[in-house]
A and B are shown apart, each in its own frame.
Chain A
């Protein structure tokens, strides 16, 4: 089996938001919609303070609450673990949006662009009317992954088969790969370093893993 996941090394992320920008460009998301974003956290109280940058987005959960509540079957989970939305079936009820504990889903009713009513060339090229009035979210750049697999490439290794956010990460904080494969890049990272997953207590089985202690011994 295959289970795609992202490993985010919190020790490496510098909060530059390049992944956010790459994602917004790849998906031409409207203002306010960020499938991938990086949170800027200040932890502790002076003088014991830490700054932490945390990439978040759809966690492509093992047990996605968004799928469980969807009244239309628009939200499904593929065999490789990716949680997908069929934009042609979704009625835009917003139930999945309130069911997601990661605030990863959005609904936009009217076309909006970065420069108000002026589309950029990229926005025009990638505009998809099917996304209006329905739920939308990160897809792990499924088109890239599927293209890669169809052409014998390894997602997470070959850039053509890897999500845009991971490709763009300038500090190599993000790694994409198959956690069901013990020899994959992500499996090796998870074996070697300590990790946690966000809101794990809710039982959703999120598939973005956070490394928090990767200083070499």
Chain B
């Protein structure tokens, strides 16, 4: 190896330290983006139906986002002609369960376009779908940043924040008088939940639950995400509240920023902070007349403790 690279981070233990997974790329991230935003929008729009909110455009937009997410992941599979085999693993796989929930969500969502009362039921499969997505990530034991239990609330909170953001954005464009007042409050609540979980998640990852390289990605992403995806939307909401003449634009901008923050979060977690487990040993062996030595876990903050 060239001397100039010998001390470069990650070069010394190339092939031992965790490295970025390449099995899932932006197409896979697209499934979490479309699925999260789409179901988030459908959940909030469906619950809004109890308060008189009904818009075929919102329903269609939510279903389209979920559909685009599924199409995105379809583009990634190696044997697309066998795609329906995805339905075989319901006993264990959250990916299969997601597909089954989609088979309920789409007919119900489309039926709600004809019978508006059904819109009040759409939140049930939408919430189940969002939960399945979170569990898909959590079940991937090979990727430390995904298997964290905090990925569940983070994915769900982000999906809801994205959905509220899209509702604000679309509401400005397609609803008479814009989105209802309570949507802005919902966006604040979901953003608060998202940033609250994010802080704990980031702290745990940086604290040793993720490889150093993955933690570094999260550290670099933290400030732009906190400001761009969470603080700025709230600032726009405040601005819209105190400046009625630009209220519609401010609400739309708040929604857009909240949505973009969630999308960026998923791109980063799925494709950039997705270092695998790497390799480790608990002990190094005795050789010849020497003694056995400590363990080795390159790319991580802590070495496994010697139990003996």
Contacts and interface: CB of A to CB of B under 8 A. Distances in A.
Given A95-B140, A103-B142, A134-B78, A198 B95 contact: no
B220 interface: no
9 contacts: A10-B283, A41-B296, A41-B298, A70-B92, A98-B142, A194-B308, A210-B281, A212-B281, A215-B286
Contacts of B96: 71-72
A44 B28 CA distance: 39
A36 B211 CA distance: 24
Interface in A73-109: 73-74, 89-95, 97-103, 107, 109
B294 interface: yes
A89 B88 CA distance: 10
A169 interface: no
Interface string A173-217: 000000000000000000000101011111010000011111100
B274 interface: yes
B283 A196 contact: yes
A30 interface: no
Given A41-B296, A101-B277, A91 B78 contact: yes
Given A68-B93, A92-B77, A212-B286, A97 B292 contact: no
Given A91-B79, A134-B79, A213 B277 contact: no
Contact of A199 (B16, B83, B277): B277
Contacts of B83: 91
Contacts of B85: 71-72, 74, 89-91
Nearest to A109: B78
A68 B280 contact: no
A137 B277 CA distance: 17
Given A39-B15, A73-B88, A91-B83, A98 B23 contact: yes
Interface string A40-53: 01011000101010
Interface of B: 13, 15-16, 21, 23-24, 28, 73, 76-80, 82-83, 85-89, 91-96, 99, 136, 139-143, 146, 274, 276-287, 290, 292-296, 298, 304, 308
A69 B79 contact: no
A130 to B, nearest CB: 10
Q: Which of A39, A56, A201 counts the most B-chain CB atoms under 10 A from its CB? A: A39
Interface in A156-179: none
Contact of A98 (B86, B91, B274, B308): B274
B171 to A, nearest CB: 36
Contact of B76 (A56, A93, A196, A201): A93
A43 B293 contact: yes
A211 B295 CA distance: 13
B280 A52 contact: no
B140 A69 contact: yes
Contact of A39 (B16, B91, B142): B16
Contact of B79 (A97, A99, A133): A133
Interface of A: 9-11, 39, 41, 43-44, 48, 50, 52, 54, 56, 65, 67-74, 89-95, 97-103, 107, 109, 132-134, 194, 196, 198-202, 204, 210-215
Contacts of A71: 85-89, 93, 95-96, 99
Given A11-B287, A71-B96, A73-B88, A101 B142 contact: yes
Nearest to B98: A71
Contact of B279 (A98, A99, A198): A198
Given A41-B298, A107-B23, 19 more contacts: A11-B285, A39-B15, A41-B13, A41-B279, A41-B281, A43-B294, A67-B92, A69-B95, A71-B89, A73-B88, A89-B88, A90-B79, A93-B73, A98-B276, A101-B141, A109-B78, A198-B279, A201-B304, A210-B282
B16 A41 contact: yes
B286 A213 contact: yes
Nearest to A92: B78
A41 B96 CA distance: 39
Nearest to A103: B276
Contact of A212 (B95, B283, B290): B283
A213 B292 contact: yes
Q: Which 8 A-B pairs have the closest CB atoms?
A: A92-B78, A133-B78, A94-B23, A10-B285, A71-B95, A97-B23, A196-B282, A65-B141
